[in-house]
Structure 1
Amino acid sequence: MSAPWQSARRILCVRLDSLGDVLMCTPAMRALRRAVPGRTLTLLGSPSGVAALPFIPELDDAIAWEAPWTKATAPRAHASGPALIATLAARAFDAAVIFTTYTQSALPAALLCQLAGIPLRLAHCRENPYDLLTDWIPDPEPAPLVRHEVQRQLALVQRAGCRSAEPGLSFVPRPADFAAARTRLSAAGIAPDRPWILLHPGASAASRRYPPAHWSQVLRLLADDPQVPVVLTGSAAEAELVDAIQSASAVPAISLAGRLSLGELGAALRLAAVVVTNNTGPAHMAAAVGTPVVDLYALTNPQHTPWHVRNRVLFHDVPCRFCYKSTCPQGHQACLTGVDPQRVVDAVHELLDAARPAAPGLPAEAPDASVPT
């Protein structure tokens, strides 16, 4: 580790997109924090990413900001750039680590950090950043390789001399979250410590949502085993979707959509025997708490499969894979509609038959899922 990075105690971690993206940075954050005694980390993130602060022990603080250059699924009001620069300058950070996917540019965030007077600035970048970055890693992706997002961020912080032997994601629900989740499950007739299945049908991007009719069929097929009840979850905005899926299935199931806080959702994911979800934040939360995941994986991008947890990644291969679009540009969404509900149920049963991991976040066997490249 170079002398400037060895003396850097106050680190700004920049990750401006969603909750799942922040969680996939947590192994790299862990490496950053542990490399230097007394080091503190602050996240500069979107509101959804910053919401994870209480559950990520590697982070000490967070600043919420909706960057105008990041993808949004709804209209938003942007905070003033000059005001943010003043806030960052007042914090007197020693260094900034800018986490991006290979489809994003680090330069806008690097400019903010440079204007805020942060002396060390590290990022992957395809273009020559000149003075915007003090530590520049020319971006090797997507040619000749595409790494898992976790591997990409670990490689980034290795440039600053930071390595970690613990590869799992971080999301640690609080005791109160577990108590609340257990109470809600018990009130719904679910014994929290008996095997049960959690279905999370929502996703922020339409292109990553398994069709509602398919979800209803999955629910019908899972109901054939009354010994393993099913619970549906989702945000308040997804409650109508969850209700429609449940109604169309015409089978008993419990909906907690709109009734769980983020911490309570994390606790519910930990208590479930298997989680079935789209490629969205709860898939990475489930991986972080060590619960096996059936991931209905839209082929919008290749690098966000469940990390270090037992999993089954289901998709239908298509010529238009890796479109990076929030809405299917072909209009058919065949990478998901082509996944037969029976495949989903078979995957659930395979994971139910396997032994549950002995420790949260560190399963006994954790194959890294992959998608075609």
Structure 2
Amino acid sequence: MLRPLRVAASRSGNPIVPSLTSRPLPSGHSQLCILRTSAIGDVTHVVPLVRTLQSKAPTTRLTWIVGKLERRLVGDLPGVEFITFDKGKGRQGLRDVREALAGRRFDALLHMQVALRSNLLSLAVKADRRIGYDRARSKDLHGLFVNERIPARSGEHVLDAMASFIEPLGLEQTQVRWDIPVSCEDHAWAAEQLPGDLPTLLVSPMSSHTVRNWRVERYAALIDHAMTRGMRVALVGGPSQAERALADAILGQVARPPLDLTGKDTLKRFMGLLARAAMILTPDSGPMHMANAAGVKVLGLHAASNPDRSGPYSDRRWCVDRYDAASRKFLGKPASAIPWGTKIEKPGVMDLIEVSDMVDRFEACASFLGLRLPG
């Protein structure tokens, strides 16, 4: 005798059903809510999903709950309603979102963030379908706040995982397109900082996970090499004291100082700088993914994180990958034997990347781009 299928209940009271079959949104003007508030890199990964929805479900009204800082990057995407979540306000930030959504109901919620705060925030969204992560990628009670899950897969880049959120809706992301708007004013500011058409290397040295940062003297050595080869180099970063301190430390070790734009740009101005750059040197960070979205070649520093999961999506040829070496040294096993997405954020892990490793990638990238460097 066949037993009836038993499914768990979510916090909303609806059963959690695995997304083995897809169901399209209702025909006509359906409403879809995206919840992904942070961080900059992850928000950048959501933009192609928005572009896909606009292309394949053009009558669907899109609402995106996004962080205050992150909205400064993506908040002018056309055809999207943005609702800001300001986590700095604490409970008031949650109440602000609830008030903005009062009286509304969505055909589906794409719940794309698993942190407990985001799970609680999702309760402000009234939706018939609440699509969340598969069990392996869930945490902080995420499963209690969804009633459908994306397909369970391993070995995916973060961008591809986010793209799979539309699969339960009968859609598939077959093209990755960003086209993040940048104003004429932001392009003009960037042109003032980087006039002319000199080949330019941007150096964005800090990740929010400081253990992913390279040694100061190694940043300085790569900057010296690039400037000796005739590249214009600009040091970039945010206005925080930590980023200012790291920039000053690097400037104190270089033979000739690069342009110092640390703390002078905004997210949109940085996009303007990227439009005038050939390459960027950076650890796993938001600027890495912004650069990739802008089509800039990324000299990525990877040891603490797996570039196949969180590196520049479009082109990882110019990255130095020491993730497997880090796994063997700090975890005693190859990367293939540890769970996908494991972060190896151990003191000294980035020392596995030598200056010569990055010089090799710099020279290979310059050759690929056809840059005629006189040095």
**TM (normalized to structure 1)?**
0.78
Provide the rounded CA distance (Å) in 2 between the counterparts of 1:147 and 1:3: 24
1:6–1:151 Cα change, 3 Å:
farther
Provide the rounded CA distance (Å) in 2 between the counterparts of 1:241 and 1:114: 40
8 A Cα contact 1:88 1:113, kept in partner: no
Cross-structure match for 2:74: 53
Following superposition, the deviation at residue 16 of structure 1 comes to 2.8
Following superposition, the deviation at residue 56 of structure 1 comes to 3.9
Cross-structure match for 1:248: 253
Following superposition, the deviation at residue 305 of structure 1 comes to 1.0
Provide the rounded CA distance (Å) in 2 between the counterparts of 1:60 and 1:117: 16
Asked whether 1:284 is paired with 2:289, we answer yes
Provide the rounded CA distance (Å) in 2 between the counterparts of 1:269 and 1:259: 14
Q: 2:356 aligns with which of 342, 350, 355?
A: 342
The one-character-per-residue Cα deviations of 1:226-273 (angstroms, maximum 9, x if unpaired) are: x32211111112123112202211313111111112111011112101
Poorly superposed stretches of 4+, deviation over 6 Å: 127-131
Q: Return the index of the structure with the highest Cα Rg.
A: 2
* RMSD across aligned positions (CA): 2.7
Asked whether 1:32 is paired with 2:44, we answer no
Following superposition, the deviation at residue 147 of structure 1 comes to 0.5
Q: Equivalences for 1:132-281 in 2 at 5 Å?
A: 132-137=145-150, 140-141=152-153, 145-186=154-195, 191=196, 193-225=197-229, 227-237=230-240, 238-281=243-286
When structure 1 is superposed on structure 2, of 126-135 and 86-95 the one drifting more is 126-135
Unaligned runs of 5+ in 2: 1-21, 332-340, 371-375
When structure 1 is superposed on structure 2, of 346-355 and 306-315 the one drifting more is 306-315
Please identify which structure carries the higher helix content.
2
Provide the rounded CA distance (Å) in 2 between the counterparts of 1:241 and 1:131: 42
8 A Cα contact 2:233 2:259, kept in partner: yes
Provide the rounded CA distance (Å) in 1 between the counterparts of 2:317 and 2:182: 21
Provide the rounded CA distance (Å) in 2 between the counterparts of 1:209 and 1:130: 34
1:338–1:276 Cα change, 3 Å:
same
Asked whether 1:294 is paired with 2:302, we answer no
Matched residue type, 2:253: A
8 A Cα contact 1:295 1:312, kept in partner: yes
The one-character-per-residue Cα deviations of 1:110-144 (angstroms, maximum 9, x if unpaired) are: 56445542222111231797884343336x25xxx
Matched residue type, 1:124: Y
Cross-structure match for 1:13: 34
8 A Cα contact 1:283 1:295, kept in partner: yes
Provide the rounded CA distance (Å) in 1 between the counterparts of 2:248 and 2:326: 30
When structure 1 is superposed on structure 2, of 158-167 and 88-97 the one drifting more is 88-97
Provide the rounded CA distance (Å) in 2 between the counterparts of 1:331 and 1:241: 17
- Match of 1:284, SS state, is helix
**TM (normalized to structure 2)?**
0.78
Following superposition, the deviation at residue 79 of structure 1 comes to 3.2
1:83–1:290 Cα change, 3 Å:
closer
- Match of 1:234, SS state, is coil
The one-character-per-residue Cα deviations of 1:21-75 (angstroms, maximum 9, x if unpaired) are: 0111222222223222232322212223222224544643232242xxxxxxxxx
